[in-house]
């Protein structure tokens, strides 16, 4: 399906770190330009740091591959009943085709059932990201200063399950 969100979703392992680093650097260049910040953490993170992160028990990551090529990925750090979604990224030539949405929804669906809140942060000039997160129920909680711009903090409260059924009348 040309231009669509075809592809295979798989869990990331430390062995994927090299491909993840390549994708991460390519994907976050546009964010660095938009924020006039070449020192964004995704651009300065090293291969060893990504390998270590993917090996942490509290980190889960997923990749989307098209014909074997890594075109998108996302990582989530889980702590108790909350999770922090980080490094949602899509290859520059595949952006705007629904891959980010697919990864976001997959990450939410694949979290352990005990996770009730999902936190994430993006920059104020990441307009497509801001639209994506708001469209999928993330609420802005605060801003914090970065190097010449604001970071926008979001949270999403996950559904605790089906609503209780009203008592039947006899």
- Please give the pLDDT value at position 46: 96
Residue 155: phi and psi, rounded to 5, are -140, 150
38-42, 46-50, 54-58, 156-160: lowest mean pLDDT where?
156-160
Range 8-113 has CATH code 3.30.470.20: no
Q: Which residue has the higher pLDDT, 164 or 78?
A: 78
Q: Band of the pLDDT at 2, cuts 50, 70, 90?
A: very low
Q: Where are the domains of the chain?
A: 8-113
Neighbour count for residue 38 (Cβ, 10 Å): 11
Angle at 44 between CA 40 and CA 45, to 5 degrees: 115
pLDDT band for position 7 (50/70/90)? confident
Between 166 and 133, the more confident residue is 133
Q: Which residue has the higher pLDDT, 5 or 29?
A: 29
**1 confidence band (pLDDT: 50, 70, 90):** very low
Q: How high is the pLDDT of residue 163?
A: 46
The separation between CA 132 and the C-alpha centre of its own chain, rounded to angstroms, equals: 11
pLDDT for the residue numbered 115: 96
Burial of 109 (0-12, 13-18, 19+ CB in 10 A): exposed
Beta strands 82-90; 69-79: pairing state: antiparallel
Tens of pLDDT, residue by residue over 52-79, are: 999 999 999 999 999 999 999 999 999 9
Q: Inform me whether the pLDDT recorded for 156 exceeds 50.
A: yes
* pLDDT tier, 5 (very low <50, low <70, confident <90, very high otherwise): low
């Amino acid at each position: 399906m040309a231009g669509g969100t075809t592809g295979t979703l798989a869990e990331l392992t430390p062995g994927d770190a090299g491909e993840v680093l390549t994708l991460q650097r390519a994907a976050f260049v546009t964010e660095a330009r938009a924020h006039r910040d070449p020192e964004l953490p995704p651009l300065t993170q090293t291969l060893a740091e990504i390998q270590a992160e993917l090996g942490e028990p509290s980190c889960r990551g997923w990749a989307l591959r098209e014909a074997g090529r890594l075109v998108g990925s996302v990582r989530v750090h889980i702590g108790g009943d909350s999770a922090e979604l980080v490094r949602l990224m899509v290859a520059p030539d595949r952006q705007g085709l629904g891959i980010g949405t697919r990864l976001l929804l997959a990450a939410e669906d694949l979290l352990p059932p005990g996770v009730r809140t999902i936190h994430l942060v993006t920059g104020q000039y990441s307009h497509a990201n801001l639209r994506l997160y708001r469209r999928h129920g993330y609420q802005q909680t605060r801003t914090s200063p970065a190097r010449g711009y604001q970071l926008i903090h979001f949270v999403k409260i996950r559904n605790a399950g089906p609503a209780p059924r009203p008592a039947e009348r006899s």
